[in-house]
Structure formats: C-alpha cells, structure tokens
Structure 1
C-alpha cells in the first residue's frame, strides 16, 4: 500500500498544486488536449495519496466545489481531476464558460485525514466548535454533509454552521439522529485569481 501524504504541503508545493488546477481548467478551453500530470515531474510527497477540494468562484460567487474526503489517488492527480470536475460537473452550477475565466479564482484545499470526534450531543459538538474552527463531516447510514473550514468565514457562529451543515446533508436543522458520526479535519489551502 502506498504511503499517505504525512504532513501538510509547504507553500512551494501548494503553488505547484494550484498550477495543476489552473492548467486542468484552462485546458478545457483550448483545442489541445491536456493530459493529467506526470507523476515523475513532481516531488514524491505530492505523488502520495492525498485528498483535496477545488473551489471555483467567479466575481466572488461560488461556481463549483468538488473534492474527496479520503486519500485514494496521488494528490497531483486528485487535484487535476477535482479541478476539471468543479468546472464542469458540479450539478449545482452551469459548467464554467470561457467568458468567466477573467473573473475566476481557484482555491485548492488539501485535507488532513478526517478524525472521529466522540460527541454525544449537538451541544457537545457546538462546544467543541466554539474553540476549534475545523472542517466537519456529519454522516449516518443515509446522509452526509461536509463543510470545509473556509465556511466559517460566512457562518461564524457554531449553531449556524451546524444547522446549515445538517440541512446540506438532508436532515432538518433541529435533527440530531441516533448514530450520527462526526469527523473533523483541517486544510492547507491556496487561493489565487486565474
């Protein structure tokens, strides 16, 4: 089994990952077919399995955000795949167009491995989140919702954060179903205009 990405990418590595995302998206609008990154052209740490999200905004408005929670493929390939998917496959949005490129910002977020958080109630989760601005995954047998830590910028109150996350997952905001599982994670991210 391949070794997982064991520590956060450094700023130079994050810049390389951002460039991969940029090239993947720009390649959608050229006549030449773009290929996935060649693993031998990157530091070994970036070719280990990693999980990422790629978030696209146009004029500051969300245009696409897709990612993976579990490291299953080399990080450079995950970034490439998620960048293309965020541009064309996020069903909440129409596919990105070439006319939007001038106002496009790309954010690459590399996730730490999600850790199970033992909480017995929503109140316990809210108390934890009052002290820790982390990414959160709520799930049970039928539902799952994920918020990256960046969501705290628009939902700074733990109660609002959790309420919106539950609705995103498909629960009512006042639900706390038996068997709900909470996982938390951090990210290392880079955001730049195209």
Structure 2
C-alpha cells in the first residue's frame, strides 16, 4: 500500500473521519464490544495508510491528544484507534466519562508526511518559523517532541513555540545539539462537537 497526501481530503471525507472518532468513543459506553470501522464502507483515499492526531476538549480544556507521525495503517483505522486512545489512554488525563460527552469537542488532524528541514541552529529554525506556521517534530538522542500547527494559536512567537517544544521533550530552554533533527509538516483538520 502506498502512502497518500491527505491535503486534498474533501469536507465529506473529513466528516466521515469525525464520525469514525465519535463511534470509537461511543462504543466505550455501549454494552456491545467496540468494533473498528467496516473498511468496505470507505473510499480508497481513506483506506490508504495515514498518520493522524485526535484531540479532545471538554469545556474548552484539553482532555486528551494522541496520534502518530508515521503512516502505518489505513487512515480510518488510525482515526478509530487514536480517538479511543485519546479518550481513555492519555496518561495526562483521567479517562473520558459519560458526563463529559455533552461538552466534548473532537478534532481530527491528518498529517502530511513530515519533511526534514535542514537547519544548523535554533536561530535558523526560529527564522524559518517566522513565516511558516507548520507542525514541528524535534528529535535528538532517542528523545522526540511534536507540536501540531494548531499550537500556534496559543504560542504565537516562534521562540516560545520552540522553547515549549524542547520542554515537552525533556530538554532545557537553551538545549540545542548538532545532531538535532527537525521535521515539519502540515495538517488537514476538522473539528466538531460529539453531539
């Protein structure tokens, strides 16, 4: 199977992904065993391997956000699995409860394939980000951290964006290594209420 670019998903396809996430979460509260999506109901584009993140908010507060950078399985299955994981397995939060469903907002972010950005210093990266509000993955010595492009809504300055991203990876604010790898990506996303 080949990986496809998800930058051209249409509104209908994105809505299907949102419905898959809703069903994945709903299945946890039903008496039936939760089942993955039935693959023959979806078009070829949604069946190709895809990487995604599913972000959950309750009353405007983050409730879970898990995903993958590598496209290893069909996008519909990735969305299903990441929705369940974000709702019930994100260790930063208590599992989602039925009481929270009324206020639940789900966002699906489908990632483009991350591209290596050749920079020799943190300042070069900051300069690049001044004009390019993209998602960023920083990797060095078995540590990695990722911010989706949506993080720019909270962290407007590239310097703050990178400082928080380094903190997320467990590095101090001034850490930079000659072996640091920087990858950037964009997302196609949809956001909607659970109900």
Q: Which TM class, normalised by the smaller chain length?
A: over 0.9
**8 Å CA contact 1:5, 1:46 repeated in 2:** no
CA distance in 2, matches of 1:117, 1:10: 28
CA distance in 1, matches of 2:38, 2:65: 24
Superposed displacement of residue 7, structure 1? 3.8
Gaps of 5+ in 2: none
| Residue correspondence of structure 1 range 56-95 to structure 2 within 5 A | 56-95=56-95
CA distance in 2, matches of 1:17, 1:7: 12
**8 Å CA contact 2:54, 2:82 repeated in 1:** yes
| Residue correspondence of structure 1 range 112-191 to structure 2 within 5 A | 112-191=112-191
| Residue correspondence of structure 1 range 98-117 to structure 2 within 5 A | 98-117=98-117
Deviation digits for residues 153-176 of structure 1, max 9, x if unmatched?
000100000000000011001111
CA distance in 1, matches of 2:6, 2:102: 33
CA distance in 1, matches of 2:180, 2:11: 36
Deviation digits for residues 76-95 of structure 1, max 9, x if unmatched?
00000000000011010010
**8 Å CA contact 1:47, 1:76 repeated in 2:** yes
CA distance in 1, matches of 2:59, 2:192: 12
Give the alignment's Cα RMSD to 1 decimal.
0.7
CA distance in 2, matches of 1:112, 1:103: 29
Q: 3-state SS of the aligned residue for 1:49? A: coil
CA distance in 2, matches of 1:105, 1:21: 11
CA distance in 2, matches of 1:59, 1:31: 27
Gaps of 5+ in 1: none
The answer as to 2:23 corresponding to 1:23 is: yes
Deviation digits for residues 126-163 of structure 1, max 9, x if unmatched?
00000000000000122100000000000010000000
